[in-house]
Structure 1
Amino acid sequence: MVSNIFFKQIKGLIKKTITIKKKKRVETMIEFLYGIQYIMILVILHQTTKSIQPHVIYGTTFNQSSLTTPMLIPFISFDNNSKLIIDRLTAEEPMYHFVEYENEQDLTELFINSDSSLSTNGSTITSIPIFTGVMFNEISLESSVFNYSLVSADIFSDLDSGYSLQLELDLLQSFTELKSGLVMNQNISVIEFPYESSFFNINTVLFIIYLPLFFMYSLQQLIMLIVTEKKERIKEAMKVMGLSEGAYWLSNIIVQITMNLILTILMEIIAYSTGIFTKTNPLMIFIMFLIFSLSLIGIAFLLATFIENPKTAGGVSSIFLLFGISVSAFYQFYIKSRVPSLKYLIFLLSPAAFGEFLNQLSTLESNNLPVTWSSNEFLIPLAFMVLDFILYSLISWYSIQFYQSEYGSSKSFFYFLKSSSSSSSSSSNNDEEKKSIINYQFNNNNEIIDNIGINIKNLKKEFKNSLDNNNNKNNNIIAVDNLTLEIKKDQIFALLGKNGAGKSTTIGMLTGLIPPSSGDATILGMSMTHQMDDIRKHIGLCSQENRLYQQLTCAEHIELFSRIKGLEEEDIPQQVLTSLEEVGLLDQRDQTSTVLSGGQKRRLCLAIAFIGNPDVVFLDECSSGLDVYARHQIWKLLEKKKVGKTIILTTHFMEEAEALAETIAIMTKGKLNCQGSVLELKSKFGLGYNLILTFDNSIGSSSSSSTSSPSGLKKITGIEKPFEKFLFEHFPDCLPMPTNRDLILANREDLELSYSLTQQDNADLSKFFSSLEQLEGEFHIKRISLQMKTLEEIFLKISEDQ
């Protein structure tokens, strides 16, 4: 059942996003064209630079004239002939500086310990590099044997091999001249094979910079949509109605991947038709671009968690992508040749991993070669981009749980530890807390009270004082102060209070929009702090704000929330008709929320709150902005809907609470002040009726003398005097209204006076009116009306007392 609702929610969210994109045609077209423009720029640059070819370079020639640097040559002599050879070489080539050593061990130590200078015969030869050592093994002029070994020094290991060849040639020449007595003139030249010059491949730069920008605008649109839904609290409203967090993110991934898939196909069509790509398998490029776009979706999720403003989110996402491209270029053109192992850290930025593939792609395509499936430059970036997406998504998911955004609630930083420990070490504490709440739902006879819909116990919410720079908890603002309350099923419960009394904060905690500082509540027997996800499957919410999509019509809103609530697809059309008809919006079913009046928006939010027939409905000032007729229509709807439900209503219209609510609670300064029915509250605060009488003043006395009433107040004599005496005999504690004196002094023909009666038994009232009926003519009374005092008067009295 859960999985079925999960997929229905995904379907509803996907349809919602597609509908919005269809209605925002300009932005959707730009999303495609913005990426295409980078491909077109790449095509133009590729076409204008592809004729630049590397030229052929013939290698440098080495000969004896190339010996321009003095070289120190240590040697080990074999016999006198070897010294004759050395003398002949020194005379013919002044660049050679030979130094004799006794044995091979001394020669080895020279190479190990010596620097570029060497001391001999008390003199120092400075700044002459040690070149190659010569060990003469056997020399025989008679047998033409010339056996020697060369020992190469590290300092010349990277130099041209022509130096070593020249020394060997000179040694052989000296031996030959010594044996034959002839002067020989030999020379050697070393010429490299011709090769193509290395050149800077412009495509490498273009690919690394332009191709990652292909998805930049779609990244901006995605993150702005997510942040907008968070800022306008639409996402939280959907979560209150039962939306799964996973369904929300998965729907965004599906829609964005679909958009990116279309973009990638368009890119490949252009790239292959213009010759940017020719050899590499199109499927490989398709996979790499799609996986890169998936990693960017992960980046959007991550950044959206910490950013509250949509425009800021769009800008930050662009900066992040450009930063990733910069790191990619820096790695390819500088770090890679020096510290290649850094790639395992740098590739955690998906643009850098993507850049590795693009670098290989540009290099091989420039040489008419394909990137192979087994290439590390394909497999490693692919693996890292998949890893990056998983990493970004996990960080996002975790951050959503603990990050205290301005919009929505949060958990502890170590919530996963608490979650696991609740089943082990902390389970006893949680069980005790739950048990204390459950016990609160038993009556004195220890019988379960099964008609309790919501049971609140010691609920508290503190907010940090923004003016307190010292973070002193004693200066925190207490919005709700240890609220304890029972709300029964099958009734409308009105929660009243002045602005700032804590009504909306209480509803926010009960619906999971605001985390409580302490305390708990059970809704339908489920703990608010431990089972909010389960609770939300059974509740509806009409919040103070109109949390609606600007682009969706009334009908589309009902369809969306119907799928979130898990309604069957065939039942949704009827739900649309029923919901809109109940709130009088059937004629506006195809109107977007932007053209609706404030009152119509409130009615649409009210219709959404009752979708799916929830067991508990929270209505936070649902009738604000409605005209009198519409308000009364809503009253009739609530009376009809309350059967089988617990409805919590907050309102500033006292007559609305008096007309609808079976139970009323009044909050002041975050605390529960009083609770009961209207009659109970009136009785508690000594409020009962207003007695209003109209006297025929044209035949009454005009005396201005005064007497005292039994209540001790001064009364002006006149036509009202006999009546007041009669009234005080029946109701000694009644009070004349303050306006009476001014009305008497006005001396009008019809004198209308009002008196306040405390709550009286019906028998007392019947006896009073029976007596008054017999004396009506004597008191010159023209009209009598008895009005029950209003809830507003109770509210004002409580407010004044506070």
Structure 2
Amino acid sequence: MGNSTRQLKAMLRKNWLLKIRHPFITSAEILLPTIVMLLLIAVRTRVDLQIHPAQAYIKENMLVEVGKGISPNFQEVLKALQVGGEFLAFAPDTKETRMMINFMSIKFPLLQQVSQIYKDELELETYLTSDFYGTCSQVKNCLNPKIKGAVVFHHQGPQLFDYSLRLNHTWAFSGFPDVKTIMDVNGPYLDDLELGVNIIPTLQYSSSAFFTLQQVVDSFIIFASQQTETESSTEHIELPSSNSFNKSSSLKLPWTNLSPSKIRIAPFPTREYTDDQFQSIIKRVMGVLYLLGFLYPISRLISYSVFEKEQKIREGLYMMGLKDGTFHLSWFIAYALQFAISSGIITACTMNNLFKYSDKSVVFVYFFSFGLSAIMLCFLISTFFTRAKTAVAVGTLSFFGAFFPYYTVNDPAVPMILKVLASLLSPTAFALGSVNFADYERAHVGLRWSNIWRESSGVNFLACLLMMLFDTLIYCAIGLYLDKVLPRENGMRYPWNFLFQKCFWRKKNFIKHHGSSLESNFNDELSNERASFLRNNTHEPVVEAISLDMKQQELDKRCIQIRNLRKVYASKRGNCCAVNSLQLTLYENQILALLGHNGAGKSTTISMLVGLLPPTSGDALVFGKNITTDMDEIRNGLGVCPQNDILFPELTVREHLEIFAALKGVKEDILERVVTDMVNEVGLADKVNTMVRALSGGMKRKLSLGIALIGNSKVVILDEPTSGMDPYSMRLTWQLIKRIKKGRIILLTTHSMDEADELGDRIAIMANGSLKCCGSSLFLKHQYGVGYTLTLVKSSPTASVASDIVYRHVPSATCWN
């Protein structure tokens, strides 16, 4: 099993333990969305349902006869074309087409005046889309007339007749033709969102003269077919000349008698249906009601993300070797599983009521997809905050606010492109999808995988679903980017254009390159500062000579060598040098106590050594590995005890050690033994199953020390390990640190001279970012010490026995009365 997989399992276990230690909160996160659904179900039971019986297609005022009433006859159509200066187009230009026009002109002479023949359909379409279309419609014999309709033949007999009728959209009232209301090619009742009899399509086709034109063309086809059957060729029929059309209405030819005299149109019959007014009433607010159920888990997720950042837990985990992506992935998987459970419960609870007719897998995917996008949106929101309480308040409102564009784009008249753009906010996409559910459930059809691409109320459910998945990806990408470039209190901040730097994709060289870039930027600005520094600090650091064993360690690379390490921060007031050309070596089996005032550069030095900050220049070798290129390898043997405990109150001592051991690469088969040994070593054997919240301050520091040591850490960095301890606990911790120094390099920072004197084999003192001196306690006392002061209280002014004793042992002593 790879190290990344072990780390992911450890972080998932941590997240799982945090969840189960708060059972009520976790249950609320999972069940609150379901509770909102149950409330909607309860409301639905109070809404009356109206049952409509089946309606027959033969019913009064439903029949429309072609050529009568609202359906104009062909003669009326031709007169309207003549009055409007418009034409009826025919294609292609063939002998059969011209013969048909001549035959029909016997009955309808006006046809000759309002007909226009085109070579083929392509020529017709080219003309209709040209700039010359309709430029002279009122001029006689105009070559560029307006076309009101067209008859386009694809086959013209003798056995097969295939043609299309094409109408100008101005022929009928607005909105025609709407192919979605004409017929359902899948059969009656399928995907039909209109309940009851719908006579609109019939009226559209009747008033537009579509049926009239179809009747005339079909009449000619019937005649032509009859002629073929009697083996009568059309060439043998003598056509009258155009001059003989004086009284065309009196001509009687056989084909006219074959025309169907009465054609009536009626809508399809309807089945019995229940009109569910609940769906139509609640459709506009359903999205926000669904969203309200998710607000609590959303707020908790934002809280978790920012809390671990605020408490420096995340940076501490990184110091222990955790990969950046593993941390985010663990929370994503944890909440993805939680939303999957919530989606499954919602699907089960609503399958027989709210989503009775929809495919259950569609319902599950709908809610689960929103859950995934919500996780990533929370991650994106959390990158802007460093305080958990502020993040929860503002972040939850921001998440809820991402829903309100829905009220701007939910109108059917709004173009689809605007709805897609609004769906870049996943709550809006989620709310738009709820409109489709309401429409299809009201129609007793339901959303299924076969119809999710069909629009209803101007909304396409498939587009909403795909947009939520797309939002998940884009929120993730933007969140990861902002997490690296936005200002932060701890950790390394990347430049805004780091994605475009080749060295970033080479990983190992990125930090080194980034530091070099900073160095080149600051060289000019710092030249004056360095000169001033040299003027004010003319003395080199006082460093004690090292032993032969230490020199051998340097040759064997069994030490930490800090070489000209330098860190510069840019601020509004100018550039600040936090660490200035630090030269220092730490040796095995020794404790180096690093002393310095606040702001001396101790924490910055540690941050560079553990990889949280890139050095502006210089580097350090840890057992021969460079901190700028080999930090992943260094962290495998690195243990850090930060000033603030990286502990989870809900976890036990054992669970902490097991999780951090896994992060540092301890194999599972020896994990139990390693944890037991470390518990005994730090003196917490009797508290192994105690939760951290019940430990004293000293015990927490011991646990933090155990976390730093576990995994056979060869380099241990202790940042003020006894801060906040009482004297007794402090002494016990000192004894522990002395006991575990064998085989390790230990760097300890402290403000206490007593602690440094007690623990430090060597003591280094920093001030203003520079090393002032380094050596053993005795060496430093010899260099800077002013002796000892002995205070005695005399019983009488003349008593001198005590002073005689002092002079006998220290002849150079000075007595101050």
- Normalised TM-score (structure 1): 0.67
Which of the numbers 640, 644, 654 marks the counterpart of 2:743? 644
1:734-755 CA-partner distances (Å, limit 9, x unpaired): 7x36xx1xx3xxxxxxxxxxxx
Distance 2:661 2:479 in 1: 28
1:403 aligns with 2:403: no
SS at match of 1:541: strand
**1:641 deviation in Å?**
0.8
Distance 1:283 1:580 in 2: 49
**Which residue matches 1:223?**
302
User: Measured at CA, do residues 282 and 682 of structure 1 come closer, stay the same or move farther in structure 2, by a change above 3 Å?
Assistant: same
1:601 aligns with 2:601: no
Distance 1:304 1:213 in 2: 20
Distance 1:316 1:549 in 2: 25
Distance 1:596 1:163 in 2: 86
Distance 2:35 2:513 in 1: 62
SS at match of 1:449: helix
Higher alpha-carbon deviation: 565-574 or 541-550: 565-574
Aligned residue pairs total 654
1:511-564 CA-partner distances (Å, limit 9, x unpaired): 233443433222222222233232222111111112322322333322322222
**1:617 deviation in Å?**
0.8
Which of the numbers 664, 668, 673 marks the counterpart of 2:763? 664
SS at match of 2:556: coil
**1:101 deviation in Å?**
11
SS at match of 1:459: strand
1:388 aligns with 2:471: yes
**Which residue matches 1:24?**
22
Identical-pair percentage: 29
Which of the numbers 562, 567, 571 marks the counterpart of 1:461? 567
Task: Kindly indicate whether the alpha-carbon contact (under 8 Å) linking 1:543 and 1:620 is maintained by their aligned counterparts in 2.
Answer: yes
User: Measured at CA, do residues 321 and 46 of structure 1 come closer, stay the same or move farther in structure 2, by a change above 3 Å?
Assistant: farther
SS at match of 2:632: helix
User: Measured at CA, do residues 59 and 303 of structure 1 come closer, stay the same or move farther in structure 2, by a change above 3 Å?
Assistant: farther
Task: Kindly indicate whether the alpha-carbon contact (under 8 Å) linking 2:509 and 2:629 is maintained by their aligned counterparts in 1.
Answer: no
Distance 1:151 1:268 in 2: 46
**Which residue matches 1:366?**
442
**Which residue matches 1:96?**
none
One-letter code aligned to 1:408:
G
**Which residue matches 2:656?**
557
Which of the numbers 5, 20, 38 marks the counterpart of 2:3? 5
Q: Which runs of 5+ in 1 are unaligned?
A: 77-99, 121-129, 135-149, 181-187, 434-440, 702-717, 744-802
**Which residue matches 1:545?**
644
- Counterparts of 1:64-213 in structure 2 under 5 Å? 72-74=83-85, 155-157=170-172, 162=207, 193=267, 201-202=280-281, 204-205=283-284, 207-213=286-292
User: Measured at CA, do residues 300 and 431 of structure 1 come closer, stay the same or move farther in structure 2, by a change above 3 Å?
Assistant: closer
1:269 aligns with 2:348: yes
**Which residue matches 1:450?**
556
Distance 2:562 2:503 in 1: 23
Q: Which runs of 5+ in 2 are unaligned?
A: 73-79, 88-112, 119-126, 141-145, 151-164, 177-203, 216-245, 253-261, 454-460, 519-545
1:313 aligns with 2:396: no
Distance 1:359 1:700 in 2: 102
**1:176 deviation in Å?**
8.3
1:253 aligns with 2:332: yes
User: Measured at CA, do residues 190 and 165 of structure 1 come closer, stay the same or move farther in structure 2, by a change above 3 Å?
Assistant: farther
1:189-221 CA-partner distances (Å, limit 9, x unpaired): 999759999998346445544445543322222
1:525 aligns with 2:608: no
User: Measured at CA, do residues 66 and 683 of structure 1 come closer, stay the same or move farther in structure 2, by a change above 3 Å?
Assistant: same
User: Measured at CA, do residues 452 and 426 of structure 1 come closer, stay the same or move farther in structure 2, by a change above 3 Å?
Assistant: closer
Instruction: Identify which of structures 1 and 2 has the higher relative contact order when contacts are C-alpha pairs closer than 8 Å and 6+ apart.
Output: 2
SS at match of 1:201: helix
**Which residue matches 1:280?**
358
SS at match of 1:242: coil
Distance 1:573 1:548 in 2: 20
**Which residue matches 2:372?**
294
Higher alpha-carbon deviation: 228-237 or 562-571: 562-571
Larger radius of gyration: 1
Distance 2:618 2:687 in 1: 43
1:640-674 CA-partner distances (Å, limit 9, x unpaired): 21111110111122122112211111111221111
User: Measured at CA, do residues 392 and 696 of structure 1 come closer, stay the same or move farther in structure 2, by a change above 3 Å?
Assistant: closer
**Which residue matches 2:220?**
none
Distance 2:114 2:513 in 1: 87
Distance 2:727 2:364 in 1: 61
One-letter code aligned to 1:516:
P
Distance 1:223 1:428 in 2: 34
Distance 1:634 1:371 in 2: 66
Which of the numbers 503, 510, 519 marks the counterpart of 1:418? 503
One-letter code aligned to 1:248:
F
SS at match of 1:612: coil
- Normalised TM-score (structure 2): 0.66
Higher alpha-carbon deviation: 358-367 or 291-300: 358-367
Distance 1:167 1:335 in 2: 32
- Counterparts of 1:485-500 in structure 2 under 5 Å? 485-500=584-599
One-letter code aligned to 1:312:
T
1:660-693 CA-partner distances (Å, limit 9, x unpaired): 2111111112211111111221232254556789
Higher alpha-carbon deviation: 286-295 or 50-59: 50-59
1:484 aligns with 2:577: no
- Counterparts of 1:46-65 in structure 2 under 5 Å? 46-49=44-47, 51=49
SS at match of 1:333: coil
1:61-86 CA-partner distances (Å, limit 9, x unpaired): 9978999xx9944499xxxxxxxxxx
Task: Kindly indicate whether the alpha-carbon contact (under 8 Å) linking 2:515 and 2:614 is maintained by their aligned counterparts in 1.
Answer: no
**Which residue matches 2:529?**
none
User: Measured at CA, do residues 65 and 162 of structure 1 come closer, stay the same or move farther in structure 2, by a change above 3 Å?
Assistant: closer
Distance 2:19 2:551 in 1: 60
**Which residue matches 1:790?**
none
1:688-713 CA-partner distances (Å, limit 9, x unpaired): 55678999978779xxxxxxxxxxxx
**Which residue matches 1:610?**
709
User: Measured at CA, do residues 102 and 267 of structure 1 come closer, stay the same or move farther in structure 2, by a change above 3 Å?
Assistant: closer
User: Measured at CA, do residues 304 and 179 of structure 1 come closer, stay the same or move farther in structure 2, by a change above 3 Å?
Assistant: same
1:732-777 CA-partner distances (Å, limit 9, x unpaired): xx7x36xx1xx3xxxxxxxxxxxxxxxxxxxxxxxxxxxxxxxxxx
Distance 2:676 2:408 in 1: 60
Which of the numbers 8, 13, 16 marks the counterpart of 1:15? 13
One-letter code aligned to 1:224:
S
SS at match of 2:563: strand
User: Measured at CA, do residues 596 and 193 of structure 1 come closer, stay the same or move farther in structure 2, by a change above 3 Å?
Assistant: same
Task: Kindly indicate whether the alpha-carbon contact (under 8 Å) linking 1:559 and 1:572 is maintained by their aligned counterparts in 2.
Answer: yes
User: Measured at CA, do residues 112 and 398 of structure 1 come closer, stay the same or move farther in structure 2, by a change above 3 Å?
Assistant: closer
Distance 2:23 2:507 in 1: 50
One-letter code aligned to 1:291:
S
**1:382 deviation in Å?**
4.8
Distance 2:692 2:553 in 1: 49
Task: Kindly indicate whether the alpha-carbon contact (under 8 Å) linking 1:73 and 1:132 is maintained by their aligned counterparts in 2.
Answer: no
**Which residue matches 1:757?**
none
Distance 1:670 1:281 in 2: 67
**1:154 deviation in Å?**
6.2
